Structure 1
Amino acid sequence: MALGSSMAAGPGIGPRAPGAPFAAGRSARNYPHLVAAALGLDLTDVTYSGATTAHVLRERQNGAPPQIDALDGSEALVTVTIGGNDVGYVPLLMAAALPRFTRSLPLLGPRLRDLLDADAREAALAQVAEALVAVGQEIRRRAPRARVLFVDYLTLLPPEDHPARPLSEEDATLGRHVAATLERLTGEAAAHTQCGWVRAAQNSAGHHAWSAEPWTTRPGLPWPGRATPLHPNAAGMRAVADMVVAWEP
């Protein structure tokens, strides 16, 4: 059973998963599909692009029921990648990549400035900590026999000594802080709820989007047949699948 957002769904990585809603952006080569194939497991994949912890726990998304409702207690393995949309992580990076004048536009500007406001991101991070724990607890309650793995986000941004153009250094620093805090909170939620933690962020630091062998994509426009900007590419999905298969407590 796979729960989570676009970082697990794999938008833009072809082919699309059969029967998946178009808006879900669910790939037949995302890490849940690759893990299921490697382990010989039947797969139920309810990952959905744009999902938040609320969409996992209680809210419908484009007509789809809360993801947690897919659990029936028969699961052997449950993976979950969630939290980034709660804190505006990828939207922050998308905003930072836009020309600076867009922050002054009448309708778009206020939203961009909010995404790039450090205090607003800090407040969002404070709220997601409790939500991640709730996700782990509810999965545990509904799938008591399953191995439950929190899978955190692949590294998108380069280290501080490496430019991340077109992002300014100030915006890249904020992005790194959000990513690092989200990584830490995911690990804390996993420990608190006695779930496993697959450390995709830590294991992909050398494969950021600006590296020679990236597992994620840089900012830009989405193009058919290519992984969505600021998301895992096919190599990244394969790497995460390998991490999940190899995970040991």
Structure 2
Amino acid sequence: MIARMVASLSYAALGSSFASGPGIEPVVDRHAMRSGDNYPHRLARLLDADLTDLSVSGATTATILDQPQATIWGTEFPPQLDGVPERADLVTVTAGGNDLRYMGALLFTAWNHLQPGGPMARLMGADLPDGVPRPGDEDIERTADGLTRIVSRVRARAPRSRVLLVDYLTILADDVTPRPGIPFSAAEFEEFRLIRAALETAYELAAQRSGAELVAVSRISRDHALGSAEPWILPFSADPTGAAGSFHPNAEGMAAVADEIARHVTGQG
């Protein structure tokens, strides 16, 4: 059990779907696909903190920094940094996966196996003209630079804040094989592992360059990926009621991330 902080904190959460929690009830913002039981909400309860949750599914480092983000419903969210309270004590950042088109590649490939060339595969593949992307050094550098600039801008806006870079839970186990909910070939598994490795490298570089603290939940989740006995990730679902959560953290995964951050913040880890 994580001990609560004695003093109340002002806590702001920035990020994409691995922070916002699509597919996890209760939904507190349908257009942001934001859950009231995502890791920011759980962490705020653990720390008895005043939460400003700015996370939006589909966010990139650019839409956190300075670009508005339009959703499929036509809602437009301002750059997330605009909402960070100047008095913030703690800020978490979970982004970069969409810069590397990680979720898009997973969903495109899964839908293309289920309905080859179908409407969902075409929709998810609109940003993938050459199929699953293979990140190069430039892609890693661009993502690391985006994360580094977020840290710098947060510090400028909220000078007393402690900024944590929280990376992504591991999605696919290294030894996973195709099965219901994981419809990929061996070659596709390897492509996704390359994207995972690129994202983890980008976080490490951003932490080194910015001096921000890295909470590498990717490491603690290796044994809880899809295909494990106790996964922290939701499998692929073609059911409209569960499709939004495909390949995203489940409730147990969000709880694990919140606990890990709380241990880090309180010095119990």
* Aligned counterpart for 1:71 among listed residues 76, 84, 90: 84
Higher percent of residues as strand:
2
- Number of residue pairs aligned between Structure 1 and Structure 2: 242
Which position in structure 2 is the counterpart of 1:94? 107
Partners of 2:14 and 2:230 in 1: CA distance: 27
Once the two structures are superposed, the pairs formed by residues 118-157 of structure 1 within 5 Å of their partners are 118=134, 121-122=135-136, 123-157=138-172
- Structure with greater helix share of residues: 1
Distance 1:50 1:136 in 2: 19
Aligned letter for 1:61? Q
Tell whether the 8 Å contact from 1:152 to 1:201 is kept in structure 2 after alignment. yes
1:5 is aligned to 2:12: no
Q: Report % sequence identity.
A: 40
Contact 1:7 1:232 in 2 (8 A): yes
1:31 aligns with 2:31: no
Q: Under a length normalisation based on structure 2, what TM-score does the superposition of the two structures give?
A: 0.83
Cα deviation for residue 80 of structure 1 reads 0.8
**Superposition RMSD in Å:** 2.3
Unpaired segments ≥5 residues, structure 1: none
Residues 202-241 of structure 1: pairs in structure 2 closer than 5 A = 202-224=219-241, 228-241=245-258
Paired position in structure 2 for 1:190? 207
Contact 2:215 2:264 in 1 (8 A): yes
Give 4+ residue runs of structure 1 displaced > 4 Å after superposition: 109-113
Counterpart for residue 8 of structure 2: none
**TM-score, with length taken from structure 1:** 0.89
5+ residue gaps, structure 2, are 1-11, 71-75
Asked whether 1:48 is paired with 2:56, we answer yes
- SS of the residue corresponding to residue 150 of structure 1 reads strand
Which residue of 132, 139, 149 maps to 1:116? 132
2: CA distance, partners of 1:115 / 1:146: 40
SS in 1 for 2:62: helix
Q: 1:74, 1:143 within 8 Å by CA — same for their partners in 2? A: yes
Secondary structure (helix, strand or coil) at the match of 1:85 reads: coil
Paired position in structure 2 for 1:163: 177
CA distance in 2, matches of 1:80, 1:72: 15
Kindly provide the amino acid, as one letter, of the partner of residue 204 in structure 2: G
Give 3-state SS (helix, strand or coil) of 1:74's partner: coil
Q: 1:89–1:225: structure 2 CA closer, same or farther, 3 Å change rule?
A: closer
